[in-house]
């Protein structure tokens, strides 16, 4: 039984690490795209209907925004939620189905 508890704790930590990593990636992408668009934090917070402190937490990677907020961020930055949640150094996810199709 102790082994199962340890496995559950490890799975919980892995899920938390993954969520934290996604928050950091989201924050970096939002910051980069907002700056490229030359939008101030104050104006951007108004555009996406969030408070400036929450926008700061998003950009710092410490917030865990709801999907509705991620959708508004993407719309305001004229991008997709997928782009906001993908590390720029990774291959685009859209290519994955093509690779799998070739394997079949």
Would you give per-residue pLDDT tens digits along the chain (104 residues)? 555 555 555 555 565 576 789 999 999 999 999 999 999 999 999 999 999 999 999 999 999 999 999 999 999 999 999 999 999 887 555 544 444 444 45
pTM: 0.72
Q: Could you give the C-alpha distances from 93 to 19, 43, 56, 100, in angstroms and in order?
A: 18, 31, 27, 12
Sign of the CA dihedral 49, 51, 54, 37? positive
DSSP state of 82: H
Cα–Cα dist 95/48, whole Å: 30
Give the whole-angstrom CA distance, residue 89 versus residue 66: 24
Range of 22's domain?
2-103
User: Which CATH number covers residue 17?
Assistant: 1.10.260.40
Radius of gyration of the chain (CA): 17
Number of domains the chain is built from = 1
What is the structure's pLDDT at 11? 55
Query: Which two tokens mark 26?
Result: 């989201």
pLDDT at 17: 73
For residue 21, CA distances in Å to 14, 28, 34, 60, 67 come to: 10, 11, 20, 12, 16
60: tokens are 């710092």
What pLDDT is stored for residue 36 in this prediction? 97
pLDDT at position 79 is 97
User: What pLDDT sits at residue 89?
Assistant: 80
The pLDDT value given to residue 24: 95
């Amino acid at each position: 039984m102790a082994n199962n508890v340890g496995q559950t704790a490890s799975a919980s930590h892995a899920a938390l690490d993954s969520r934290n990593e996604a928050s950091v990636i989201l924050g970096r992408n939002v910051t980069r795209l907002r700056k490229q668009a030359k939008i101030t934090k104050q104006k951007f917070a108004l555009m996406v209907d969030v408070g400036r402190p929450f926008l700061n937490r998003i950009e710092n990677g410490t917030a865990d925004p709801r999907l509705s907020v991620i959708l508004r961020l993407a719309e305001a930055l004229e991008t997709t939620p997928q782009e906001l949640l993908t590390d720029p150094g990774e291959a685009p996810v859209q290519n994955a189905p093509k690779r799998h199709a070739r394997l079949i």
